[in-house]
Amino acid sequence: MAVLAAAHVCDDANQSFLPALLPFLVIHRGLDFASAATLILAANASSSVVQPAIGWLADKRPMPWLIALGVFLAGAGVALVGVAPSYPWMLAAAFISGIGIATFHPEAGRFANFVAGDRKASGMRWFAAGGNAGFAIGPLFATMALALFGLSGTLLAVIPVAAIAIVVVLELPRLRGFHPSKTAAKAPLAIDNWPAFLRLSLFVTVRSMAFIGLVAFVPLYFTSVLHTSPAVGSIALTILLGAGVLGTVTGGPVADRVGRKLVLMWSTGATALLVLCFTLFTSHVTLIPLAFLGTAAIGFALVASQASYIVLGQEYLPNRIGLASGVTLGLAVSLGGFASPLLGMLADAHGVSATLYAIAVLCMLALLAGALLPDDARTRASGSESMNDAVASVAQGTLVRAAR
């Protein structure tokens, strides 16, 4: 889990490196808000095409080497954005980064399920927290690199992904040992609950529209509405995502105790309220420390649901864990990025404050989608616990064989 979480840190750092880069591209390359936000769309569009197919293939044939390849491509694409000679080349580089992200998540999420233990949400939180930590580190890394070397500093993004890719390659033999054996894989599992999974995918998609919108426009809100420097905007993004790490670590065990759906509903509803209050207050009173505090509260609330919906997806499709991981970690999140250009056009027409109000509305729509999910008792009744028992028996068998 430590190796997978560290790889998730490096992979998702590139997802937040790109949004942190947007204010610099607006200032130094003359991009408008819509064009800048379209770079986020390019990265997410490529992920949405590739990710489900990789998850489907991974369920049929384990390919843990894709974890190393994916994390490297994610960083290599971001590294090229800052040095691209023209806007089309920037789009191409962002597209490559999205391909890498799509390649990484299905297999990484699937193997994280295998090593998470019996309390899935509590175990999965460390993998999810790795991604959120990467999101939090990305803006700081971007700010440091750009301050030292200008836009060419994006080339530094390739260093950590190359290092962790080598570590993953060296760990592949041990990682393969956690995959269920053929005998254990034939143990009876629950029937896949496709209607519930499709409703969950709708929730994750709309929630991701809000999340990606916040990641893209919180730095722009600080620079254009609160009139701070781009560096302060990057700090605000780091606070947003850093608080999300704490939310993930806290939300996982709570979900195991009180239920996944309850955490989803609380998290999304609280985020809608917090975004509304934050925008109303800071648009009239410019106090940067209080704005930072509000940003932290939003990040904590929204990301507290991440481990819950990842595990729910795997419980709804216990026979297709790779596909479920590819959708909840990738496809649905990537589809959420398609709203970025629309939010950018809204910001160009009516200001970034209007975009934050729209994000609060998206959280309310996600709350309605979450209400359609079956409660946790019905999920357990469908046999999700049998999946946990099967995976636990595989882990126990692996330990026995290792002892022998």
**Count of Cβ atoms closer than 10 Å to residue 231 Cβ:** 19
Q: How many CB atoms sit inside 10 A of residue 288's CB?
A: 14
Which fold is adopted by the domain 2-403? Growth Hormone; Chain: A; (1.20.1250)
Higher pLDDT among residues 403 and 138, named by residue: 138
Task: Report the C-alpha gap between 69 and 380 in whole angstroms.
Answer: 36
Q: What does each C-alpha distance from 126 to 2, 181, 314 come to in angstroms?
A: 8, 25, 16
Q: Give yes or no for a contact between 203 and 369, defined as CB atoms under 8 angstroms apart.
A: yes
- Model-level pTM? 0.71
- Check whether 235 has a pLDDT greater than 80: yes
The pLDDT mean for the chain works out to 81
Q: What is the pLDDT of residues 117-130, one digit of tens each?
A: 666 666 677 887 78
Instruction: State the pLDDT at residue 189.
Output: 53
User: In the chain, what are the domain boundaries?
Assistant: 2-403
Give the Cβ contact number of residue 234 at 10 Å: 31
Over the stretch 48-100, which tens digit does the pLDDT of each residue have?
667 777 777 777 777 788 889 999 999 999 999 888 888 999 999 999 998 88
DSSP state of 285: -
Based on C-alpha coordinates, what's the Rg of the chain? 20
What CA–CA distance (Å, rounded) separates 215 from 209?
Answer: 10
Q: What percent of the chain is modeled with pLDDT above 90?
A: 25
**pLDDT over threshold 60, residue 152:** yes
Burial group, residue 117, by CB count within 10 angstroms (0-12, 13-18, 19+):
middle
Closest CA to 128 of 372, 384, 309: 309
Higher pLDDT, 333 or 372: 372
CA-wise closest residue to 232 among 218, 242, 215: 218
* 242, HSE (Cβ side, Cα atoms, 13 Å): 15
Structure tokens given for 259: 């239920």
